Amino acid sequence: MNMDFLALIKNLIQNYDQDVLTNATKANSILLDLALNYPKERILARNFVEAGGYTLLRKSEGDYIIAAGSIKKRLLEDFSVEAAAADWIIDIFLAAMDFEQREISPLPPASQYPQGAFKGRSQSVAIGIAHHAAVLTDGTVASGGDNKFLQCDTAAWEHISSIACGDAHTVGLNSAGRVITAGRNNHDQCHVGDLQDIASIYAFGDDTICVGSDGFAHAVGKSGLNLSLFEDIKSIAWHPEGVYGIKNDGRVQMSSAGWEEEEWAAALTDVSQIISTYIRGSLVLKKDGRIYKLGEPDGYFAQLRDIVSIVDLSDGFAVLRKDGTVRILPYERDEPRKDFAADTWKDITAIYGKYKRLIGLTTEGRLLVACADGDWIRRNGSLDYIMDWYPIETHDKLGKG
């Protein structure tokens, strides 16, 4: 048990009035200041405060069993915190509030809350123009393909929880919430500075976006994106004119005004994922597993059901169904559907697509690869090396929202 961290929680509880402690935003800010040197612990503590844990315990008046059960349920379901980590942080607050004198077990190892402590979305596999990267279960990164700009120089990376690839740069997020980069930096896309407490990372072209566990986004790179108004962000989606920010409540923000789809996007609710193309518009995946095209809510996509993830393949899109199967579809109703190797894939837990390449992650941590462009293979070589990367982290399940 880290007694210093317990003392910090006691400081939070005992030295601030009830108005502060019942306000999750203020309490989170105080936790950040108090627990600056305890990144893993403070993330769990923030989840606890945001789940209403302190308020529930305070109102329990010592009868904490029911309250603790309710708090744990919220941590498990709403924040994806693993059971051992949820129990630990509940015990910390109980001890700090002097509800019970008990011996508290040590903080569970990182494997007990692989990404649950972060509210952002984690990604195990990433695709660049001609390079690829994946997070192995031991926290190291496998990468391969074009290395002209040293974008595959990831051999020394450790404790990585999420990966992203721009056209020729690679971005990694470690378990402490710090960002690591490699590759082309001609537009300062690798200049992430001293960002801390990052929950998720994204890379598009020559841009990098980092979203903090506080829901605020930071961008560097060629596009000069201004994300100062983004808040409470869960994930980022690329758009030809900027980026979408998908909020925790399923609503959408945009990095700039004047998009053709602006009015539609501003009215969106319950969004799980968005994919955009240069000329085909944007497809929206709702939390109920249904897809529609922005501006065309009654399009042929409406027939799709039970979808957990969608990716763009440049000349079509791929969907991952709840049953673990994959389907490749054209963007328009009257376009013929092409046969694709991925049509036979089964037991898939996540899909990743870019530039006519599709990678599927199986439930056992293996990767399957398909490419719809024979010319790409002739120019860049076989993708078989990707299937040798094993085992891959399977914690992400991108369609869970």
17 half-sphere exposure, CB direction, 13 A CA radius = 1
Give pLDDT tens digits for 327-364: 998 888 788 877 788 989 999 999 999 888 999 999 88
Is residue 213 a part of any domain in this protein? yes
Of 68, 100, 132, the last residue of a domain is: 100
Of 231, 260, 290, which residue is a domain's last?
A: 231
Decide: helix, strand or coil at residue 24: helix
Predicted TM-score of the model (pTM): 0.70
HSE on the CB side for 146, CA within 13 Å? 19
CA dist 104 and 107 (Å) reads 9
The pLDDT score that the predictor gives to residue 273 is 94
Which three-class secondary structure state does DSSP give residue 282? Answer: strand
Q: Confirm whether 243 is domain-assigned.
A: no
Helix H or strand E encompassing 12 = helix 3-14
> Is 387 contained in some domain?
yes
pLDDT value of residue 105: 63
Shared domain check, 59 and 26: yes
Q: Are residues 136 and 94 in the same domain?
A: no
Q: Which residues of the chain have pLDDT under 50?
A: 1, 110-119, 396-401
Shared domain check, 225 and 130: yes
Q: Are residue 336 and residue 374 in the same domain, yes or no?
A: yes
Domain with 91 in it: 3-100
Give the pLDDT confidence score for residue 361 in this predicted structure.
94
**Closest C-alpha among 75, 104, 79, 108 to residue 92:** 104
Residue 61: per-residue pLDDT? 67
Give the chain's length.
401
pLDDT at residue number 297: 67
Examine the domain organization and report whether 84 and 150 are in the same domain.
no
Number of domains in the chain: 3
Alpha-carbon gap, residue 367 to 386, rounded angstroms:
7
Within a domain: residue 392? yes
pLDDT of residue 152: 97
For 17-24, the CB contacts below 8 A with 24+ separation are 18/58, 21/54, 21/55, 21/58, 22/54, 22/55, 24/49, 24/50, 24/52
Query: Same domain, yes or no, for 154 and 192?
Result: yes
H-helix or E-strand spanning residue 65? helix 64-78
Q: Looking at residue 110, what is its pLDDT? A: 47
Amino acid sitting at position 281: G
Residues 325 and 389 in one domain: yes
Q: What pLDDT is attached to residue 139?
A: 85
- Is residue 288 one of the residues assigned to a domain? no
Residues 11 and 96 in one domain: yes
Q: Are residues 79 and 161 in the same domain?
A: no
Q: Residue 66: what pLDDT?
A: 77
**Position 334 in a domain:** yes
> Which of 231, 247, 263 corresponds to the end of one domain?
231
Same domain, 131 and 225: yes
Query: Is the Cβ–Cβ distance between 349 and 361 less than 8 Å?
Result: yes
| 106 in any annotated domain | no
Nearest to 120 by CA among 310, 395, 370, 359: 395
Give the CATH number for residue 167. 2.130.10.30
Give the strand order in the sheet containing 179-183: 160-165, 169-174, 179-183
Q: CA–CA distance from 202 to each of 38, 221, 329, 353 (Å)?
A: 25, 12, 25, 14
Whole-number pLDDT of residue 119: 42
